[in-house]
Amino acid sequence: MKFTKRKAAAGVIFAAVLCALTWSGHPVAAQTVKDGVMGSGMQDETVYNGIQRSNPFLMPTLYGADTQASYTDDFINASFVTQGNYTTASYYHKAALKDKTMFQGIDVSWWQSKGDKKTTGLDWQKIHAAGIDFAFVRAASRDSAAGTIYEDTCADSHIQGALKNDIDVGLYVFSQALTEKEAVEEAQYLLDLIDLYDWEVDMPIVIDREKGSYNRLTEGKLSKAKETAVCQAFADTIHAAGYDAYVYAAYSWIKSYIDTGALKNCGIWIARYNNTTTSNSKSGVPYADVSYDYDFWQYSSVAKVDGYSGNLDANFWYKDTKVKTTGLAASAQTTDSIRLSWKGAGDAPKYRVYRFDENQNKYVYLGATTKKNYTDTGLEAGKTYQYRVRGYWTIGGANYYGTYSDVLEATTLPAKLTGVSANTRSSTSIELSWKKVTGADGYCIYRYDTDKKAYERIALVKGNSQFTYVDSGLSTGTEYQYKLRAYRKVNGTSYFGACCSVLKAVTKPAKVQNLKLSSKMPSVTLKWNPVEGADGYQVYRLNTKSGKYEKVITVKGKTTVTYTNSKLKKGSVYTFKVRAYRTYNGTNYFGKCSEIAKITMK
């Protein structure tokens, strides 16, 4: 999981741990000030079998023949156990957390610096090699006496050392805030430090709620509602800046002062120096005294980790890295690309996209993205592809992959039609033709409706073997406009290619009707009914010698429907016919000839 500066990867929240911090310029001597030392207010957490332990950092192992009897069957059945990596104890964890990935982490502050109080005292390379994947660094503290906020002078050195060695980093502030305003001030102080140093904060930002050396917080006597409101004010400020927010507190503090059910956008980190987070008696209903969810458990302050000679706070992080990516869908398609989108996988900050390769018979990796969408390009038109996506987290330099999404079948759009033409067939029909589109399941024909001023589908040519269509029943001598496109149908859904350019064509004029002849030597006058849409007419007379009709004249104009043929011979028989024409885009389209008409000159 990665949280870049001011950019949160949504989701599972984290709780931060807090170690000691005293700024060298702070007026109180370091050896007497324990503000910010994680666990300094946890003396009440060390009760064992009703006896107060004198050293809060030396809890018994509680694992072995002499103590096994203190565990009830319901507790054992509701737990799973691990051996401590940095302590000699064994630890019981909620059974509900067993399917989560468990990471090891530490928290550090000014107290883990070298003598200059600015340089980290940890060998971070060895720390990571020892199995530590995350670290929470104290960046600031509020003085538990004066109430002023000051910076941890070693924070930057700790952070740079951790990041250079693939250890994820979160921040915390030792808080003594008594009001929501002070909590917001503490949150903003941390955010300003992030901007100042340009820190890459990979993990949450935490408010540490515990007693200080001068008990400013405890003497404030906040009610449970007020304490919860203070934590919420901090969380709201952090969340609004794009980070996950957490509250760190001891088991007893949470139980007494924090209404965990009322917190929003704020996770819990529980501090419990024990080998279980439950009550020390290990009896009764398992974990009944920890009814809330937590993602981090600070279980020891005396951990020994290679890379540092002193004691360190040790923490478990329970992280669900098996979250399934949901909502995978094709949000947009073209002829050569498919845009995928999905709802997400919890707080996964990154996703990997896979496409099935038929040649290799397996899903192949396409690429990674920090967004919840991905566009696959360079595809074939009108082809169906299969995809799956999974979220992943990079923690401690290693990738942890979630569960794959359900398989999605997505289809590219068919190619745009080529070789499209519109040819006039008759006075009432126009023939459309086109070239075959690979992968198409059919073709849609659209004609422009002049009344509705829109294209309407007039035909669906199914299959991929017919590449012509005759539009019939049209008006004579009329212009028509068409669009055509291919489609492919997959799982009941039709995917349409782009429409071709507009095709224009005109029907032929109608047949000339009611041709009449009248004679008056030496001339014959022809008359006929006008043809709608005609631009003129051609008059033909039979050549008796050749037996063919020859054009006598072209009568131009829409309104002229008469013609006089002169210089004819008396006693001869003359035969005529007439046809209308329309000129469209430089081409004449002719209607059928009229019935023939004969006359004998007298």
Are residues 588 and 533 part of one domain? Answer: yes
pLDDT grade for 47, boundaries at 50, 70 and 90: very low
pLDDT grade for 160, boundaries at 50, 70 and 90: very high
pLDDT grade for 114, boundaries at 50, 70 and 90: very high
| C-alpha distance across the termini of the chain, in Å | 108
Are residues 392 and 291 part of one domain? Answer: no
Work out the average pLDDT over 300-320: 97
Are residues 253 and 113 part of one domain? Answer: yes
Domain boundaries, position 526: 516-600
Are residues 117 and 34 part of one domain? Answer: yes
Of 411, 444, 479, the residue that ends a domain is 411
Instruction: Answer yes or no: are the C-beta atoms of 244 and 205 closer than 8 Å.
Output: yes
Are residues 562 and 433 part of one domain? Answer: no
pLDDT tens readout for residues 516-529: 999 999 999 999 99
Instruction: Answer yes or no: are the C-beta atoms of 509 and 476 closer than 8 Å.
Output: yes
Q: What is the pTM of this model?
A: 0.76
Work out the average pLDDT over 223-239: 98
pLDDT tens readout for residues 530-560: 999 999 999 999 999 999 999 999 999 989 9
The enclosing H or E element of 252 equals helix 251-257
pLDDT grade for 587, boundaries at 50, 70 and 90: very high
> Would you give the distance in Å from CA 516 to the centre of its chain?
77
Number of domains into which the chain is organized: 4
Average pLDDT, the chain: 88
In a domain, 73, yes or no: no
pLDDT tens readout for residues 428-454: 999 999 999 999 999 999 999 999 999
Percent of the chain residues topping a pLDDT of 70: 87
pLDDT grade for 374, boundaries at 50, 70 and 90: very high
Q: What share of the chain is helix, strand, coil (3-state, %, to 5)?
A: 15, 40, 45
pLDDT grade for 326, boundaries at 50, 70 and 90: very high
Are residues 375 and 289 part of one domain? Answer: no
Q: Identify any residues that bridge with 365 across adjacent strands, giving them in sequence order.
A: 354
pLDDT tens readout for residues 48-99: 333 333 333 333 333 333 344 456 777 878 889 999 999 999 999 999 999 9
Work out the average pLDDT over 412-427: 95
The helix/strand/coil state of 391 is strand
Distance CA 297, CA 271 (A): 6
Of 411, 443, 477, the residue that ends a domain is 411
The enclosing H or E element of 579 equals strand 573-584
Closest CA to 231 of 266, 269, 188, 255: 266
pLDDT tens readout for residues 187-227: 999 999 999 999 999 999 999 999 888 889 988 899 999 99
Work out the average pLDDT over 254-268: 96
| Residue 125 CB neighbour total at 10 angstroms | 14
Dihedral pair phi/psi, residue 400, rounded to 5°: -125, 120
Are residues 463 and 537 part of one domain? Answer: no
Are residues 231 and 372 part of one domain? Answer: no
> Would you give the distance in Å from CA 560 to the centre of its chain?
69
Distance CA 47, CA 380 (A): 70
Does the pLDDT value for residue 31 go beyond 60?
no
Are residues 537 and 388 part of one domain? Answer: no
Are residues 165 and 142 part of one domain? Answer: yes
Of 411, 441, 476, the residue that ends a domain is 411
| Residue 454 CB neighbour total at 10 angstroms | 9
28 vs 385, residue with greater confidence:
385
Which CATH number belongs to the domain containing residue 459 in this structure? 2.60.40.10
Instruction: Answer yes or no: are the C-beta atoms of 283 and 308 closer than 8 Å.
Output: no
Are residues 289 and 159 part of one domain? Answer: yes
Cis, peptide link before residue 522, omega less than 30° from 0: yes
Are residues 198 and 108 part of one domain? Answer: yes
